[in-house]
Each structure stands twice: as C-alpha cells, then as structure tokens.
Amino acid sequence: MATPPTRVSYVASVFDTTTTPKTVSVTVQTGDRVLVASLAANGTGGATNTAPTGGGETYTQLATLGVDTNNSRNIAWSMTATSAQTFNISAVRPLVNTSTIWGVLAWVYRGSDGFGAVGAPAVGTTNGLATFTTQAANSAVLAFSADWNAVDGTTRTRRTINASTGTEETYYRNSVEYTVYTQRYDDAGAAGSVSAGYSAPTGQKSAIIAVEIKGAAAGAAALPELVMPQMR
C-alpha cells in the first residue's frame, strides 16, 4: 500500500502552430517528478529528439514515436527537480519540417518515489490504447496521444483503470492535421497490467505514450535506525 502521488499542475502550449521553441512554466519543489511531452501532427522531413531545457535540470527521454510523414509524433521525457524554483521548460519542434503544427505539455507530481513503467506501443498499431504493467501500487498513470487520422472525438470514451476513467486534461483537433488527447489516472490501484487511453472514437492512428508516476511507499521516507557499537 502506498500513497498516490499528488498532481501539482498540468500546463500545455497551444497545439496548432509551428512556432519553435515553445515554453511552459512550472513551479517545482525539490524531488518533484516532471513529465514533459511533445506531440506533433506528423514526422514529415524526419524526426528530431532534442531534449527540453529549463531550470538547469536534466531531462531523460522515456519514449519516442512517429518518425515519418505517415505518423504523428510523440516524445516523452522525465525530470526530477533538484531545487525549488519557478521556470520555463523550453522544447523545440520535434521534427525537421517547418510547416508541421505541434505542442508541448508538462505535468508536475509531488510525493512520488519515482517514474515507473512506460507504455509506448508501436505507432499506429492501436486505437488510442497503451497497455503496460505498473511497477508499484497506487501509482498515477499519465497518457497522451496524437492521432494522425484526426478522427472526430466530439464523443469520446476513456478506458478504465482501477474502476476510474480518469480525467481528461486536453482534447484538441484540427480535422486537417491531427487530434491530441491527454489524460491522467490519479490512482492505478495494485501493481499490474493497465490499459490507458481512449477506446472511442475508433479509427485512430495513434502515437500514444503512457507513463507511471509512482506513489510514496509507506514508511519510505523514514531514515534507517542507527545502531551505535557498545563502548567499553
């Protein structure tokens, strides 16, 4: 049994411009877990994998999907804050082509023992579905996808994890370009297989990534007992 991590914030840029770089502002405390993702309509011209910058922190790539014209692009990075501060995370367009629209987002979580499993099925092989096995109990699960087919999601259905359909953060669609879905599940329950994403609309060609944010294990913060040798 663990305590689920606390969602501190979610911020996203616009998803409908080609502007680069794009920034999102976050406020963190030491130890906060930050998930950053870039989503683009497609990978025309070839993909790039430049890590975000900001706050003097280190960003580690977790997954990258979609590297060609016929798929949407999705990249995720993790960062653990090493100091308390407010700063901008800056990300560059994750592809060579200059006329592709895209956006960047960031979640901040507190009270977490770290990042866990990552689900990133081969792009275009699922309809908004990322199935993976969480490593710890009571983790949060974040899922975000770009649908190359730009299917109409006016009516949409989120998949269920631990009896919850979670919460949608952003839905964006340009019927000529792509559709973006971002969502979270606050408590994925016992460690095990979970399926995140949207089951409807159907017909999606998804670049979907799901990331586990572990909770805080009971007693994890306690210091080990110090035993002094007996002095004679």
Q: Can you tell me which of 8, 51, 168, 195 binds other proteins, judged by CB under 8 A?
A: 168
Q: Is 25 in the site for other proteins (CB under 8 A)?
A: no
Q: Which two tokens stand for residue 85?
A: 């501060």
Element (H, E) at 26: strand 22-28
**198 makes contact with other proteins (CB under 8 A):** no
Question: What is the rounded CA–CA span in Å between residue 222 and residue 41?
Answer: 46
Is position 68 an interface residue for other proteins (rule: CB under 8 A)?
no
For other proteins, give the closer residue by CB, 86 or 99.
99
Q: Is 18 in the site for other proteins (CB under 8 A)?
A: yes
CB-nearer residue toward other proteins: 24 or 117? 24
**Interaction of residue 144 with other proteins, rule CB under 8 A:** no
Phi (first) and psi of residue 223, to 5 degrees: -80, 150
31 vs 213: CA distance, rounded Å: 13
- Residue 195: name the closest of 111, 119, 138, 122 by CA: 119
Binding residues for other proteins, rule CB under 8 A, total 29
**Among the listed residues 119, 128, 153, 215, the single contact to other proteins using CB under 8 A:** 153
For residue 172, what is the DSSP state?
E
How many CB atoms within 10 Å of residue 200? 15
Which region among 80-88, 115-123, 149-157, 206-214 touches other proteins (by CB under 8 A)?
149-157
What tokens were used for 144?
């975000």
Cα–Cα distance, 192 to 63 (Å, whole number): 20
199 is an interface residue for other proteins by CB under 8 A: no
Q: Which of 77, 102, 148, 185 binds other proteins (CB under 8 A)?
A: 148
Query: What is the binding site for other proteins (CB under 8 A)?
Result: 14, 16-18, 41-42, 44, 69, 98-99, 101, 148-150, 152-154, 167-178
